[in-house]
């Protein structure tokens, strides 16, 4: 049943994307990681989402605790709050639990599978969402300098209120080391929604990461 829904979602993503003009957005983000112990990591997320030709302006604050077995796996739990910066039209409190593990590794190429479970309060309406993301990345052969690490992702979102996979998303980008604890992730993203608006989103994202 899940496989059939995934196939249907992929078909819809490619077959009807021409029916509506995609919405363009900018996704800036600052991530701060602090490692107080060998297998523990605290993660602060500060991000935004801006529609280039529309009224959408949203900000997000997230705080998470990771239990790591890096680079093989990590387990994460935390809270995430998203709100409209222009009015009170959107408020979301999200409880997050996820695990990510290295599913495949060969030479400099690795495949990471991340499974995330979210309990969401969106404008006082409760629901849950399950997200499964595949992340294929080529690791840098030389960690010095820019240490480029290009990647591609594919993600499916199951929404409880619709009882189906209601979003398919993907990214193409690269991580790059800047200097010292600073690195960046520059990417382009695509989201196709079958139950919510806007139907199609193209986004340019830049995430700056500070690791201590």
Say what the pTM is.
0.87
Summarised one tens digit per residue, pLDDT across range 70-111 is: 889 999 999 999 999 999 899 999 999 999 999 999 999 999
Largest CA distance in the chain: 51
* pLDDT block averages, 10 residues each, the chain of length 212: 47 51 96 95 98 93 95 95 94 98 94 98 97 97 88 98 98 96 98 95 98 96
The whole-angstrom separation of Cα 108 and Cα 17 is 34
Fold of 2-211: Porin (2.40.160)
Domain boundaries, the chain: 2-211
């Amino acid at each position: 049943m899940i496989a059939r829904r995934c196939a249907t979602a992929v078909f819809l993503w490619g077959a009807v994307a021409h029916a509506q003009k995609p919405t363009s957005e900018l996704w800036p983000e600052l991530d701060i990681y602090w490692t107080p112990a060998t297998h523990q990591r605290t993660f602060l997320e500060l991000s935004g989402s801006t529609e280039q030709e529309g009224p959408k302006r949203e900000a997000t604050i997230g705080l998470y605790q990771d239990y790591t077995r890096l680079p093989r796996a990590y387990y994460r739990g935390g809270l995430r709050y998203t709100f409209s910066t222009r009015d009170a039209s959107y408020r979301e409190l999200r409880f997050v639990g996820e695990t990510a593990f290295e599913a495949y590794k060969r030479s400099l190429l690795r495949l990471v599978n991340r499974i995330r479970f979210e309990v969401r309060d969106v404008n006082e309406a409760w629901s849950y969402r399950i997200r499964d993301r595949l992340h294929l990345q080529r690791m840098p052969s030389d960690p010095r300098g820019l240490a480029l690490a290009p990647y591609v992702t594919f993600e499916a979102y199951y929404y409880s209120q619709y009882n189906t996979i209601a979003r398919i998303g993907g990214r193409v980008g690269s991580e790059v080391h800047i200097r010292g604890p600073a690195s960046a992730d520059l990417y382009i993203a695509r989201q196709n929604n079958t139950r919510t608006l806007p139907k199609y989103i193209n986004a340019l994202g830049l995430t700056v990461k500070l690791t201590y």
